[in-house]
Structures are given as structure tokens and as C-alpha cells.
Amino acid sequence: MSEIANLNMSGVVTFVDRRAVAHELTTEAAVIKGGAALGAVKDMAFELALSKALNGKYRSAAEILGDAFSSQHKAYAKIFKAEPWANKTEFASYLHAMENAQPGKNGYTKKQVAARQLIATLRGTAAFAKVAAEAITVDA
């Protein structure tokens, strides 16, 4: 996740362009502008999802992972018939399923690489460190 992005409470994102010039835009304008501005918004979205997941609010992180690995998400939902953000146990098993997703014939997409970084960051915390009990596999 980028350290050059900053989103403050008024909805303004700060980013640095490729010429190392700092800019400030509203979140909405940054999305429309694209490029480094949109990248800064995406970085902040990952950071916010991580922060929420570490505080017991799993939906944002689960939706980011589900978007990146849609086949695995659909298989998980079909098998378990539960929302992956319902509680910590559901989210931990969902993390495990997404973590085991295999790359496509051309490797992981950019979105999947970012999602795998989110998983790795979560796995680096005490709350979501991998345990031997996680033996659930979801094949899509």
C-alpha cells in the first residue's frame, strides 16, 4: 500500500504524480482524474479495509477479495451459504479459501496481486495468523 496517499476526514486525497509533485483533490475528482490520483484512492481503500478488518468489521475486506477472486467467492457462497463477513470465524475461513486461489493461465491479475497483499498483511497480524485448524479448501 502506498505511503504517498492520504485521505483526510473532509474527503480530500493527497497524492504525488510521476514528476514528484504533490496534489490535493476531492475523492470524487481523484476517481474521475484517474492515474496516480485514482491509485491513491485505491491504496486508501485497501488501508481502510485492512483497518476495519482488524477492528472486527470484515465486509470491506471480504468484498475486495471477492471482487478479485470472483470464482472462489461464488464457490464459497454456494458451499457455505453464509456471508464471509458475518463474523471472525467466517472471515478467517474465507481468507483461507481466497489465499488458496490458483492463478489463471497468465498468472495473477493486478487486482488479485493487490488482494493477495491484503491477505498477506492480515496473515501477518495476530488476529489472522494462519493456524493448523484451517483445513477448509474451496475449489472453484
Give the three-class secondary structure for 23: strand
70 and 127 in a single domain? The answer is: yes
- The arithmetic mean of pLDDT across residues 54-64, rounded, is 91
Could you list the residue range(s) of the whole structural domain that residue 1 is in?
1-55
| 65 and 106 part of one domain | yes
Three-state SS annotation for 50-114? HHHHHCCCCHHHHHHHHHHCHHHHHHHHHHHCCCCCCCHHHHHHHHHHHHCCCCECCECCHHHHH
Give the chain's domain count: 2
- Give the pLDDT score at 78: 85
Q: Are residues 81 and 27 in the same domain?
A: no
Q: Is the pLDDT of residue 1 over 70?
A: no
State whether 60 and 48 are in the same domain.
no
When pLDDT is cut at 50, 70 and 90, the band that residue 47 belongs to is confident
pLDDT for res 12:
84
71 lies in the same domain as 119: yes
Q: Does one domain contain both 31 and 66?
A: no
- 40 and 80 housed in the same domain: no
pLDDT computed for residue 140 by the predictor:
54
Residues 51, 28: one domain? yes
